[in-house]
Amino acid sequence: MPREGILVHNPYERMTKEQVRQIHHASMQILTDPGLISFNRRAAEIFASNGAEVTPVSSGDHPTWLVKIPEKLVLHALDSAPRIVKLGARNPDNALILNGEEPRVYFVTGSETNIWLDVEFPTYVKKSDPKIEIQVPEFRPRRGTVADLCQSAHVCEHLETLDGYIRTVNIQDKDITEDNKDVNKFFASLNNTTKHVMSGLTSLSQLDNVVNMARIIAGGEEELKQNPIISFITCLVKSPLQFVEDTTDTFIEVCKRGLPVVVSSSPQAGTTAPMKEAGIMAQINAEVLAGITLGQLVNKGTPVLYGSVPVRARMDNLDDSYGAVETSQYNVDCSQMARYYKIPNYSTSGVCDPRTPGTQSSVERLFSDILVTLSGPQYLHCAYGLLECNSVFCLTQAVLDDAHFQMIKFFLRPARIDETEIAESLKQIREVVATPQKLYISYIRRAMRSRQISPPYPFEGDRETDDVFALAYKRMQELLARPVDHIDPATTARIFEEIPGLLRRQVDGLKTEG
Amino acid sequence: MTEDIIDLIKENVIQGRVTQDDEGLEEGMAGEPGVTELVGEAIEQGIGLSDIIKTGLTEGMETVGQKFEAEEYYIPDMLASAEAVGAAMEILEPHLAENGIEAKGKIIMATVKGDLHDIGKNIVSILLRGAGYAVKDLGNDVDTQTIVDAVIEERPQYLGLSALLTSTMMQMKDVIQALTDSGIRDQVKVIVGGAPVSEEFARSIGADGYGADGFDAVRAVESLASDKAKG
């Protein structure tokens, strides 16, 4: 049985059907005028051999081509792209079934950050009353390591609402190089969670090592096909409208291997995309459709996700502003476009602007988490633990986010109103009104125990001070102490024998670098 | 047989089942006799009242208290059990004197004049009944003279006053003053409570006790009872 996720019965849509059609037609026009610049020769050749108009733009060391993709090619690709994509897992009960026509949402971590945020709780004494002491969280940023990634996967394995795992932190240990980063990040993730693992690829040269590792863990070639325990995310189109040389190569190779892959585009409204909603939507849709078309031309039927990570620019420094309200609008629109095409949607929420956890991070992430979830994307990369856009990861924040998603999931339960419920309620009302106390309390006991009543906020303190973070930290420590189901020793031994570049300390005991 | 029925009373207190119609917490209990039916049967069988009270009701409530402390039970469970004990005590009350058992005490409860809020007062009433007190509930929006008359007539050891509004809380002061004016202030301990009420306010109006919530109200009454016993 796959994971249930949460089915959004009436997904929230901002656009009318006519507006959706208008965006589609605008995207089709963009794909032929101005078309896309390809820095990747193979993509240009594939498009040219399939009837697209491809014109060399420049030659030399960095040749480029102008690719104009006709609507017919896009529509064929949309026909052949699977509507249902399975993302497997080491524990088959953690598999995810993404149906492009069904707004069932799965919550997933990510993206990859460079900075890991440690937390300490120094004690402060009140000057005017030294008897009063409080503990205030202090945050210490540092470079992420393999040990951090393992810890993150370990805790995420135990977070109830979390359905899948995208690596949260870039491993930057001294002995990690471009040639061994991919195998180590995939192994660290796979060995510490039994949920689905998705990641980007640092080096194409490592793709086969990573796929072979997954094959060994899954139990063979066919087993991996049936239960794809890993998938990839690729940003092959750089906004505006450019096929990137190296990532496009990675995308083509992943498609050849038939593993699920996200075609992700991340335009920034105001700088790399128009600020206007119509403009950024037409462009991002064109960019994602161009990628999906390429994937289907490489390998018809290969499983792809419509990956949308649109963002608005900050007006003060032109950085990404994931906390901006418009960012949520764009993401909600993208969910609707993906559903129009019946392709599962990889969407984004929960990314926020501040550097440390606190009021602003809670407001921004909850705002987008609620709204984007309501739009019904199938695979919601909802930034558990992420701060300062995509720069910082804080594991305790991820634990806090789990509590947010418990609330959201509870809210999205379908309304329980039917003949039986009405009859039972009428009986209750009549009985209670006849009593002197007129209280319904005795009827809520069963409901409480059958999880029909939402639980209290798990990090509520009992003092005047705000203890939320300290309590979440304690919860994080409890989850870290709880064992995880690692890859079995025989399989691990085989992986270390056959896959080059793995750090022995991944299984011999890890220490976090200070 | 005696042990069986006492055990059943205790178990049904733990389950919070007042009557046979109550579901309780475990499956399949609806339709089985609840505390009221079982206590009635125990009286008919001539089982000693002190056994019913001590072993059935009190031990049952003690178990409930332990479960609450252990966070296995929640407030609604405590209230359901307290309601069951309260219902049992109402049935037992007429038989207490003839069996030489002294009641724990009588309490008059009221929400003061101008205030229609009675959830808190009702919960406190249930909990006090569950703790073994005889409770007479005058209802809500009760004027001062009605409260004074009830104290004169019923001669309770305790008077519980509730107010939810800042605009009605001063009525409590009026009631206490009226008790003094009627010459019966020293005959009854007054405990006050309600959302806008604080311990400081309780002291300022001359109340004897203050309950921050339902459980605290019971503790306040128990504390006054203990002081009284010590003389």
Strand partners, A199: A232
* Residue B29: Cβ-neighbour burial (10 angstroms; 0-12, 13-18, 19+): middle
In this prediction, residue B101 carries a pLDDT of 79
Specify the pLDDT at position A413: 95
B110 shares its domain with B222 = yes
- The per-residue pLDDT for range B66-108, each reduced to its tens digit, is 998 898 898 889 889 988 998 998 899 888 877 777 778 999 9
Sign of CA dihedral B34, B35, B36, B42: positive
- Of A176 and A462, which is predicted with more confidence? A176
DSSP string, A373-396: HHT--SEEE--TTEETTTTEE-HH
Which of A432, A435, A439, A454 should one mutate to test binding to chain B, selecting the residue with the greatest count of B CBs within 10 A? A439
Q: Between B230 and A346, where is the model more confident?
A: A346
Mark which of B45, B69, B99 sits at the end of a domain.
B99
Q: What ipTM was assigned to the predicted interfaces of this complex?
A: 0.75
> Phi and psi of A313, rounded to 5°?
-75, 145
What percentage of residues in chain A have a pLDDT greater than 90? 85
Is the CB of B74 less than 8 angstroms away from the CB of A446? Answer: no
Q: How far is Cα A234 from Cα A260, in angstroms, rounded to an integer?
A: 11
Say if strands A392-393 and A386-387 run parallel, antiparallel, or are unpaired: antiparallel
* C-beta contacts of A355-360 below 8 A and 24+ residues apart: A355/A139, A355/A141, A355/A387, A355/A388, A355/A391, A355/A392, A356/A117, A356/A139, A356/A387, A356/A394, A357/A137, A357/A139, A357/A387, A357/A394, A357/A396, A357/A397, A357/A400, A357/A469, A360/A323
Residue B105 — left, alpha, or beta (φ > 0 → left; ψ -120 to 50 → alpha)?
A: left
My answer on whether A22 and A54 are in the same domain is yes
**Contact between A442 and B79 using a beta-carbon 8 Å cutoff:** yes
Predicted pLDDT of residue A510 = 55
Strand partners, B108: B136, B159
Distance CA A233, CA A166 (A): 9
- Residues of B with CB below 8 A from A439's CB? 79, 119, 122-123, 126
Q: Is the pLDDT of residue A261 over 70?
A: yes
CB of A288 closer than 8 Å to CB of A308: yes
What's the number of domains chain B is made of? 2
Q: Is A313 helix (H, G, I), strand (E, B) or coil?
A: strand
| Minimal C-alpha gap between A449 and chain B (Å) | 9
pLDDT at A373: 98
Considering the domain architecture, whether residues A27 and A50 belong to the same structural domain is answered as yes
If asked whether residues B226 and B116 sit together in one domain, one would say yes
Looking at the fold, whether A378 and A315 belong to one and the same domain comes out as yes
pLDDT of residue A513: 46
Residue A507 lies in a domain: no
Cα atoms in the Cβ-side hemisphere of radius 13 Å centred on A136: 7
CA distance A474 to chain B (A): 19
Chain B residues touching A444 at Cβ < 8 A: 76
Q: Please name the member of B23, B125, B137 whose beta carbon is closest to the beta carbon of A446.
A: B23
Shared-domain flag, residues B61 and B131: no
Q: What percent of chain B has pLDDT over 90?
A: 62
The yes-or-no verdict on residue A467 having pLDDT over 50 is: yes
Cβ burial of A160 (10 Å; 0-12, 13-18, 19+) is exposed
Provide the residue range defining the domain that includes B207.
Answer: 106-230
In a domain, A250, yes or no: yes
Contact call for A437 and B126, based on CB within 8 A? yes
Domain boundary, last residue among B61, B77, B99: B99
Domain identity same for A41 and A95? no
| Residue B23 to residue A436, Cβ atoms within 8 A | no
Residue A163 lies in a domain: yes
Structure-token pair, residue B63: 């178990």
Interface residue of A441, A444, A460 to substitute, partner B, most B CBs within 10 Å? A441
Given an 8 Å threshold on Cβ–Cβ distance, is B76 in contact with A442? yes
**Residue A162: enclosing H or E segment and its boundaries?**
none
Are B190 and B142 in contact by the 8 Å Cβ rule? The answer is no
Answer yes or no: is pLDDT of A511 > 80.
no
Contact criterion met (CB < 8 Å) for A441 and B79: yes
Tokens linked to B223: 């504390």
Q: Cβ–Cβ of A445/B16 closer than 8 Å?
A: yes
CA distances from residue A288 to A66, A200, A283, A358 in whole angstroms, order as listed = 17, 17, 9, 34
Task: Give the contacts of A89 (CB within 8 A, at least 6 positions apart).
Answer: A95, A96, A164, A194, A195, A196, A227, A229
Is there a single domain that holds both residue B207 and residue B111?
Answer: yes
Please, which pLDDT band fits residue A514 given cuts at 50, 70 and 90?
very low
Q: Which residues of B touch A437 (CB under 8 A)?
A: 83, 122, 125-126
Asked whether residue B164 falls in the same domain as residue B148, the answer is yes
Residue A482 resides in a domain: no
Q: How far apart are CA B102 and CA A169, in angstroms?
A: 70
Q: Do A438 and B122 touch (CB under 8 A)?
A: yes
Q: How far is B230 from chain A (nearest CA, A)?
A: 34
CATH of the domain at B61: 1.10.1240.10
d(CA B221, CA B227): 10
Q: What pLDDT, on a 0 to 100 scale, did the predictor assign at position A441?
A: 81
Question: Inter-chain contact A448–B119, Cβ cutoff 8 Å?
Answer: no
On whether both B151 and B130 belong to a single domain, the answer is yes
Quote the pLDDT of residue A369. 96
A51 and A150 part of one domain: no
Top residue of B18, B26, B71, B74 to mutate, by most chain A CBs within 10 Å, is B74
Which range, of A21-25, A164-168, A260-264, A348-352, averages the lowest pLDDT? A348-352
The predicted-structure confidence for B129-168, as pLDDT tens digits, reads as follows: 888 898 999 999 999 999 999 999 999 999 999 999 999 9
User: What distance in Å separates residue A158's CA from the closest CA in chain B?
Assistant: 23
- Would the CB atoms of A442 and B22 count as touching at under 8 Å? yes
Which residues, in sequence order, are bridge partners of residue A379?
Answer: A106, A346
Across the interface, whether the CB atoms of A446 and B25 are under 8 A apart is answered yes
Q: Please report, rounded to a whole number, the percentage of residues in chain A having pLDDT higher than 70.
A: 99
What is the least distance, in Å, from the CA of B231 to any CA of chain A? 35
The domain that holds B169 is classified in CATH as 3.40.50.280
Show Cβ contacts of residue A395 under 8 Å, excluding neighbours closer than 6 positions. A151, A152, A155, A385, A476
Residue A204, domain member (yes or no): yes
Choose among B193, B161, B198: nearest CA to B179.
B161
Q: In which band, very low, low, confident or very high, does the pLDDT at A512 lie, cut at 50, 70 and 90?
A: very low
For residue A307, give the CATH number of its domain.
3.20.20.480
Query: What is residue A271's DSSP assignment?
Result: T
Q: Per DSSP, which regions of A200-276 are E strands?
A: 230-234, 237-238, 242-243, 261-265, 268-269
Q: Are residues B47 and B130 in the same domain?
A: no
What mean pLDDT value characterizes chain A? Answer: 94
Q: Are residues B82 and B113 in the same domain?
A: no
Mean pLDDT score, A71-76: 98
Q: Establish if A455 belongs to a structural domain.
A: no
Higher pLDDT, A465 or B84: B84
Do residue A278 and residue A299 come from a single domain? yes
Q: Say yes or no: B137 and B210 in one domain.
A: yes
CA distance B163 to B171: 8
> Are both A25 and A110 inside the same structural domain?
no
Amino acid B21: pLDDT: 86
CA distance B29 to B35: 12
CA distance A88 to A95: 4
Closest residue of chain A to B125, computed from CA coordinates: A437
Q: Are A347 and A379 in contact, with CB atoms under 8 Å apart?
A: yes
Which helix (H) or strand (E) covers residue B135, if one does?
strand B134-137
Q: Which of A436, A438, A441 sits opposite B76 (nearest CB)?
A: A441
d(CA A250, CA A241): 18
Contact B166, B178 (CB under 8 A): no
C-alpha distances in Å from residue B216, one per residue of A196, A431, B192, B213: 50, 29, 11, 5
Angle (nearest 5°) at CA A398 between A394 and A401: 135
Per CB distance under 8 Å, which residues of B are interface residues toward A? 16, 18, 22-23, 25, 74-77, 79-80, 83, 119, 122-123, 125-126, 137
Q: What is the DSSP letter of A482?
A: S
Q: Taking residues A160-172, what's their average pLDDT?
A: 96
Does position A321 have pLDDT exceeding 50, yes or no? yes
End-to-end CA distance of chain B, in Å? 42
Q: Is-contact B113 B144, C-beta < 8 A?
A: yes
Q: Which two tokens stand for residue A147?
A: 């040990």
Q: Are strands B209-211 and A96-99 parallel, antiparallel or unpaired?
A: unpaired
Q: What is the DSSP string of A81-113?
A: S-SEEEE--SSGGG-EEEETTS-EEEEE----B
A437 and B76 within 8 Å at the Cβ level: the answer is: no
How many domains, in total, are found in chain A?
3
Using CA atoms, how far apart are residues A167 and A187, in angstroms rounded to an integer? 11
Q: Which of these, A375, A372, A307, A308, lies nearest to A336 by C-alpha position?
A: A375
Q: Is the pLDDT of residue A359 over 80?
A: yes
The residue written with tokens 């009588």 in the block is B106
Nearest to A355 by CA among A150, A190, A206, A137: A137
Helix ranges (H only) for B97-157 are: 119-130, 144-154
Domain, as residue range, for A433: 420-449
Whether residues A227 and A298 share a domain: the answer is yes
- How far is B72 from chain A, CA to nearest CA, in Å? 10
Question: What one-character-per-residue DSSP string does A459-470 give?
Answer: T--SSSS--HHH
The rounded distance, in Å, linking the Cα atoms of A143 and B28 is: 58
Q: Quick check: is A305 in a domain?
A: yes
Residue A417: count other Cβ atoms within 10 Å of its Cβ: 9
Q: Which residues contact A49 (CB under 8 A, 6 or more apart)?
A: none
Q: Which residues from A are below 8 Å from B80, CB to CB?
A: 441-442, 445
The answer on B165 and B204 residing in a single domain is yes
What are the C-alpha distances in Å from B95 to residues B34, B45, B88, B103? 20, 14, 12, 10
A31 found inside a domain? yes
Residues B113 and B218 in one domain: yes
Instruction: Report the alpha-carbon distance of residue B30 to residue B42 in Å, rounded.
Output: 20
CA distance A348 to A330: 10
d(Cα A168, Cα A187) in Å, to the nearest integer?
A: 14
| Per-residue pLDDT tens digits for B186-227 | 999 999 999 899 999 999 999 999 999 888 999 999 999 888
Residues B188 and B124 in one domain: yes
Stated as kind and residue range, the H or E segment containing B229 is helix B214-230
> CA of A135, closest CA in chain B: separation in Å?
26
| Statement to judge: residues A107 and A206 lie in one domain | yes
Q: Which range has the worst mean pLDDT, A102-116, A181-195, A433-447?
A: A433-447
Same domain? For A153 and A201 the reply is yes
Asked whether the beta carbons of residue A441 and residue B125 sit closer than 8 angstroms, the reply is no
